[in-house]
């Protein structure tokens, strides 16, 4: 989370409708914040949630079991994987 002691040096601009601005101003007022503070904190929270959704893998019990089974008992490499490994070795000799 952003610290209040770090000076803000970057600028972000957005065009909104009059209705959107009024809505944002009303929400900011209800929380006792400035419009800028409300918008910055809201978009930061939304960005963090979006990143978290895309970076976390949530599995149910059967999916978790299948994942662990695949790690503990991986299948033998098929021909396509063997070909890819050979291609990699030829292409990247230092590997």
Instruction: Give the range of the structural domain holding residue 23, as residue numbers without chain letter.
Output: 14-56
- Please check whether residues 46 and 72 belong to one and the same domain: no
Q: Considering the chain, what is the average pLDDT of its residues?
A: 92
What's the token pair of residue 5?
Answer: 């002691």
- Please check whether residues 37 and 64 belong to one and the same domain: no
- Please check whether residues 44 and 63 belong to one and the same domain: no
Dist. CA 39–CA 25, nearest whole Å: 9
The pLDDT tens digits for 10-50 are: 999 999 999 999 999 999 999 999 999 999 999 999 999 99
Q: Kindly state whether residue 91 falls inside one of the protein's structural domains.
A: yes
| DSSP assignments along the chain, one per residue | ---TTSPP---------HHHHHHHHHHHHHTT--HHHHHHHHHHHHHHHHHHHHH-----HHHHHHHHHHHHSPPPP-HHHHHHHHHHHHH-TT-
């Amino acid at each position: 989370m952003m610290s209040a002691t770090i000076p803000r040096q970057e600028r972000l601009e957005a065009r909104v409708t009059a209705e959107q601005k009024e809505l944002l101003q009303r929400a900011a007022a209800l929380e006792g914040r400035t419009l800028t503070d409300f918008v910055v904190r809201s978009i930061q929270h939304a960005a963090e949630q979006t990143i978290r959704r895309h970076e976390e893998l949530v599995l149910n019990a059967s999916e978790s079991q299948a994942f662990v089974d695949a790690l503990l008992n991986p299948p033998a490499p098929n021909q396509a994987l063997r070909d890819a490994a050979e291609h990699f070795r030829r292409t990247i000799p230092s590997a």
